[in-house]
Amino acid sequence: MESGIRVLLLTAALALLAALSGCASVRQWFHRAPPSASGDTADQEPPRVVEPEVARRKITVPRIHSRNIELGADYGVLSIEDFGAHPSYGLTAAYHITEDFFFQAEVGRSRAGLTSFEQLSGVQLLTESERRFTYYDLSLGYNFLPGEAFIGRGVAMTSAFYLLGGIGGTDFAGDTKFTVNFGAGYRVVPADWLALHVTVQDHVFQSSILGTTKLTNNLEARIGTTVFF
């Protein structure tokens, strides 16, 4: 009985093979060479003298480097309303989205002086640590007047006058205030990787340090240098 099953299975397998050999895809298993178009056979081909052993070269396409990010530092003067003008310094990072627009993040710090009230009365309104003025901005920049700047005959540098506007926070007098900033700047690009900036920016926030609540304008002028990469 057992051998009967074996015979049956064998017959089924043979029948399957016979059926498959008619199938086009299976025929490829047995006839590996592709059918030649001319129709005549391989014995007319000249005998192969040299076996080509050249491996196909793998071409790697070099990646294009994008230089849209600008990082740098700046130094300037910040005029804190009622507290005098003092040196400020900061770090900037920018990402150029299109030739017109860029996104800029900036952190900066300065120190407030004495108000005229404090100078006259000798009373200190703020502690030393409260006089520290730290701000950050997230801004959108628009290259308003792109152009070129020339030094003499031989040197031409691309440049742009740009407008900035954005939001951020200012930590001053023991509190952090929602801050709106706007400003304008001028950028010169002496080399593909380097840019020089002159920026004037106003940081506006609501303050009630001196009794009444008012909008304060804190103007900052600074020069900076950034590196593209």
Partner 1 sequence: MTPRARQWALAGLVLLAALLTPATGSAREYLQLFVTQPYLELHTGPGRGYPVFHVVPRAASVDVLFRRTDWFKVRTEHGVEGWASQADMQKTVLADGTTFHFDVGDRAGFTSHRYEMGIFAGAYGGASLVSGYASFSFNPQLALEGALGEFLGRYSNGYTGDIGLTHVIAPEWRWSPFLTLGLGEVYTEPKATLVQPTNRSEPTAYVGGGVRYYFTRRFFLRAEYKAHWVMTKRNENEEADEWKAGFAFFF
Point out which residues bind partner 1 (CB under 8 A): 59, 61-68, 71-73, 89, 91, 95-99, 101, 103, 109, 111, 138, 140, 143, 146-148, 156, 158, 166-169, 175-178, 192-194, 225, 227-229
CB of 101 to partner 1, least distance (A): 7
**For partner 1, which is the closer residue by CB, 29 or 95?**
95
222 backbone φψ class: left, alpha, beta (φ>0; ψ -120 to 50):
beta
User: Which one, 143 or 201, has the nearer CB to partner 1?
Assistant: 143
Q: Which is nearer to partner 1, 23 or 185 (CB)?
A: 185
Q: Which two tokens stand for residue 214?
A: 């008012």
**For residue 15, what is the enclosing H or E element?**
helix 2-20
Q: Measured from the CB of residue 201, what is the shortest distance to partner 1 in angstroms?
A: 16
Q: Which long-range contacts (CB under 8 A, 24 or more apart) does 159-165 make?
A: 159/186, 159/187, 159/188, 159/189, 160/186, 160/187, 161/185, 161/186, 162/102, 162/186, 162/187, 164/104, 164/139, 164/140, 164/199, 164/201, 165/139, 165/140
6, two tokens: 């074996």
Shortest Cβ distance from residue 135 to partner 1 (Å)? Answer: 11
Alpha-carbon distance of 158 to 146, in angstroms, equals 8
Residue 53 Cβ, how far from partner 1 at the closest point, in Å?
22
Q: What is the closest distance, in whole angstroms, from the C-beta atom of residue 49 to partner 1 in the complex?
A: 29
The HSE-up count of residue 27 (CA atoms within 13 Å, CB side) is 6
Nearer residue to partner 1 within complex by CB, 15 or 138: 138
CA-to-CA dists, residue 216 to 41, 113, 122, 163, 177, angstroms: 94, 16, 23, 21, 11
Paired tokens of 198: 């002159």
Q: Of 81 and 205, which CB lies nearer to partner 1 in the complex structure? A: 205
| Distance, CA of 223 to CA of 112 (rounded, Å) | 20
Q: Shortest Cβ distance from residue 151 to partner 1 (Å)?
A: 15
**Given the complex with partner 1, which of 12 and 100 has the nearer CB atom?**
100
